[in-house]
């Protein structure tokens, strides 16, 4: 058995989570896929997949082997593009993740524009606020907001743009409760927390965190935005939530003298993907329009 035998089948089964789906993707029979996987497992001396009647999942060894095989496939794709002068024509599969609201409202339209330009590209998007393991879960690209903390050395990062945090409230709230002009005054106001019970500010060049409390807490920026628009309290949210409502006068930015420094919007990708033309061109596309 050649060292290359079974690699395509292994990748297809891992990504489809099905022998049937893998066979359809490769244009071969299910029996062929099964034989190749069985022979590959025998050669490696390790089980690569857990098989049930409903689903096929990777074992720990299978996950490791799949990641290495995927790197080989991506490298081969790039080599073929270089030889055939296809470096400027992204094609094949690209798997990315981004935060839910920002991904749906900002990233998704840009991805759709990119795919419309390069229809041979197949993009799988997952919008979640969870910080996923890009390497373990096979992602080519992740868009993340704010500070990058604890990023593994195997992950590359590139700043795409920035976001600004605003503290704001509806005019009706401010007319009833008054506008706070100092950070200490927030203790007398209904400040609506998100996933954290504090807000970040800058005072005289130093970062400050202020614990806040209110009668509505939500892990959704949209929910907090709606509450603020209805005059229920004060919120601290990124610009992409509040910019249209500040422009329309629905919300009023307050405590602007304490506004924290802008945070980064980042593209993260596994270090071994840095030469992939599809990743490189998508990052350039996002940087161009977000910047």
Instruction: Give the tokens for residue 252.
Output: 């009023």
Residues 218-262: tens digit of each pLDDT: 988 999 999 999 999 999 999 989 999 999 999 999 999 999 888
Cα–Cα distance between 146 and 164 in angstroms, integer?
10
Cα–Cα distance between 82 and 114 in angstroms, integer?
21
- What is the pTM assigned to this prediction? 0.62
Cα–Cα distance between 168 and 256 in angstroms, integer?
9
Angle between helices 19-26 and 7-16 (to 10 degrees): 120
Beta strands 92-98; 121-127: pairing state: parallel
Cα–Cα distance between 257 and 264 in angstroms, integer?
20
CB 271 within 8 A of CB 151: no
Distance from the Cα of residue 291 to its chain's centroid: 17
Distances (CA, A) of 223 to 125, 127, 202, 241, 254: 23, 17, 26, 11, 20
Residues 51-100: tens digit of each pLDDT: 887 788 999 999 999 988 888 887 777 776 666 544 567 778 889 999 99
φ, ψ for residue 218, nearest 5 deg: -150, 145
If you write DSSP's letter for every residue of 1-51 in order, what string do you get?
Answer: --TTTTHHHHHHHHHHTSHHHHHHHHTS-HHHHHHHHHHHHHHHTS--EEE
Give the H or E element holding residue 47. none
Residues 127-177: tens digit of each pLDDT: 998 888 887 788 889 999 887 776 666 778 889 999 899 999 999 999 999
Distances (CA, A) of 208 to 145, 203, 261: 20, 7, 11
In three-state secondary structure terms, 255 is: coil
């Amino acid at each position: 058995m050649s060292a290359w035998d079974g690699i395509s089948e292994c990748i297809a089964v891992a990504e489809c989570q099905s022998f049937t789906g893998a066979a359809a993707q490769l244009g071969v029979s299910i029996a062929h896929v099964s034989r190749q996987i069985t022979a590959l497992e025998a050669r490696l001396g390790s089980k690569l997949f857990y098989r049930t009647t409903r689903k096929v999942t990777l074992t720990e060894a299978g996950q490791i082997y799949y990641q290495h095989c995927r790197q080989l496939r991506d490298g081969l794709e790039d080599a073929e593009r270089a030889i055939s002068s296809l470096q400027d024509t992204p094609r094949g599969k690209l798997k990315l993740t981004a935060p839910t609201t920002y991904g749906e409202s900002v990233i998704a339209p840009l991805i759709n524009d990119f795919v419309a330009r390069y229809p041979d590209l197949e993009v799988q998007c997952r919008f979640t606020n969870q910080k996923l393991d890009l390497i373990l879960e096979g992602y080519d690209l992740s868009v993340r907001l704010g500070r990058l903390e604890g990023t593994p050395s195997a992950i590359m990062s590139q700043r795409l743009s920035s976001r600004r945090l605003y503290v704001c409230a509806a005019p009706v709230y401010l007319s009833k409760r008054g506008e706070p002009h100092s950070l200490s005054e927030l203790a007398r106001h209904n400040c609506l927390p998100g996933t954290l019970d504090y807000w970040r500010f800058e005072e005289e060049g130093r970062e400050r965190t202020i614990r806040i409390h209110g009668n509505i807490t939500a892990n959704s920026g949209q929910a907090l935005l709606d509450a603020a628009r209805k005059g229920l309290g004060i919120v601290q949210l990124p610009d992409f939530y509040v910019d249209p409502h500040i422009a329309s006068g629905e919300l009023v930015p307050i405590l602007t003298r304490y506004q924290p420094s802008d945070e980064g919007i980042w593209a993260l990708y596994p270090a071994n993907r840095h030469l992939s033309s599809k990743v490189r061109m998508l990052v350039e596309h996002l940087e161009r329009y977000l910047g």
